[in-house]
Chains A and B, each alone.
Chain A
């Protein structure tokens, strides 16, 4: 597939915007593709709805917004409710398993492939709940097939604050392994 149109949704503070930046950076800088990210956020710093959008293509991106949303990454129930119905048939859903109750019947009917991960719980095991989005990015790298895991890892390291690389790398690896195991067992 040449063109990916990705929506990432969650709550402010979950790292929704940074997740978009990591995927975009991986695609545009390390994978040699074109990536355009747009974002929307509420006035509050934490707790309000937050989302970012990415268009990734092998050609320059013209229209900057997502039209045919073929991948959805959600870290909160509200985001799934809002953006879930806009997923195109045959698309892909990645979700935070403990926070987002999904409607499997609906997803199966629309031939949407869906993969869940308890990213928050994993992040807590690593000692910092704040890295849940990086766990999610590892999972995305393993499952989505948009950007290579190597590029994603480089993008994580280039995007997180100095001094937190080790923690973030562990989080990324955790998500990546979980995703790979999930694919092997499907």
Chain B
């Protein structure tokens, strides 16, 4: 379906990434946000709080902490709304238990994470990419999530809409990562007319209350949803549950539940994955990056190409699930892979695993507090080309 015009601020704006992410959420139909505002993410909910009375039919609640925020949004979804919370690395750390719960409830949710330097309270106003693993692996047990990484305010708008759509399609937590510098960076943001924005409606059940069970697969592996007040009697729980949503604490139910929760993402990975390539075909060296680092890498690649090096860029738009097949192929044809990321080495190990010894993988780390210097990445390219 098309976006509701009430939530779409059509026009050409000069806007920062945080505000653009908020506009993306509103355009996607998000009408409930709960948050415990934290630098450098505060502007997202600040704008949501200001805009939602104008957009109408929605609520923002400033909660007492991250735990409350990450559970309030789950209540809102069971009440039929599209919902999000907004935080930074320290907040994601605190929300992990509820992220696991959301994955187990299988409810569509968006977490916007404006990343700052860590560990701990770290660098509140400065960028880093240290959350790339904690969004994937932070909660205990086995589950799957989807993660998108933004590199510009326009992407903050576009990819937040995509995040809401993916959350609805796959009934799982979806993370939108903004580097602090992207959140606080202003650029031109084009917001189209509402009828040009595709919005995924909730996968409501087509069954009657009598025949409905909350975890019966209905759309492929995905169960249909209901909302409170529609006359469906449902039970859900964080405990291992069967198709009825009742606890059933045995290996068989665990096997079925966990497998379906994981396979609904893994088996649809090709539909979820999104990446951009620049000169990867025929390149000797391929730089793999996400978020703001892709912008720095582009400059490094331009400079290295002037020196005759055949180097390409693989920009991960969707980071989780990873484009595993594509990285395997690239590793077979390239002489070396370079992973540049705003941490001391996180995604590099995944890339190294996928390269599987076909070519060496070099890490260009950055502890956060700034972004790489293009020269640093260029140096690694020149070194790898030797």
Contacts and interface: CB of A to CB of B under 8 A. Distances in A.
Nearest to A36: B187
A24 B185 CA distance: 11
B296 A62 contact: yes
Tell me what chain A mostly uses at the interface: helix, strand, loop, or mixed. mixed
B185 A38 contact: yes
A162 to B, nearest CB: 14
Given A24-B14, A29-B12, A39 B184 contact: yes
A39 B296 CA distance: 18
A20 B181 CA distance: 15
A25 interface: yes
Contacts of A25: 14
A62 B301 CA distance: 11
Contacts of B12: 29
B186 A63 contact: no
Interface string A103-120: 000000000000000000
Contacts of A20: 186
Nearest to B190: A29
A21 B186 contact: yes
B374 interface: yes
Tell me what chain B mostly uses at the interface: helix, strand, loop, or mixed. mixed
B125 A62 contact: no
B343 to A, nearest CB: 19
A63 B299 contact: yes
A65 B371 contact: yes
B188 interface: yes
A36 B185 contact: yes
Contacts of A28: 14, 187-188
Given A38-B181, A62-B295, A62-B299, A24 B186 contact: yes
A21 B295 contact: no
A34 B190 CA distance: 13
Interface string A21-51: 1001100110000111111110000000000
A64 interface: yes
B161 interface: no
Interface string B240-270: 0000000000000000000000000000000
B115 to A, nearest CB: 15
A25 B125 CA distance: 24
Contacts of B299: 62-63
A116 B305 CA distance: 43
Q: Which 9 pairs across A and B sit closest by C-beta, in order of nearness?
A: A25-B14, A37-B186, A28-B188, A62-B298, A63-B299, A62-B299, A62-B295, A36-B187, A38-B185
Given A28-B14, A61-B187, 6 more contacts: A28-B188, A29-B13, A34-B187, A36-B187, A62-B295, A63-B296
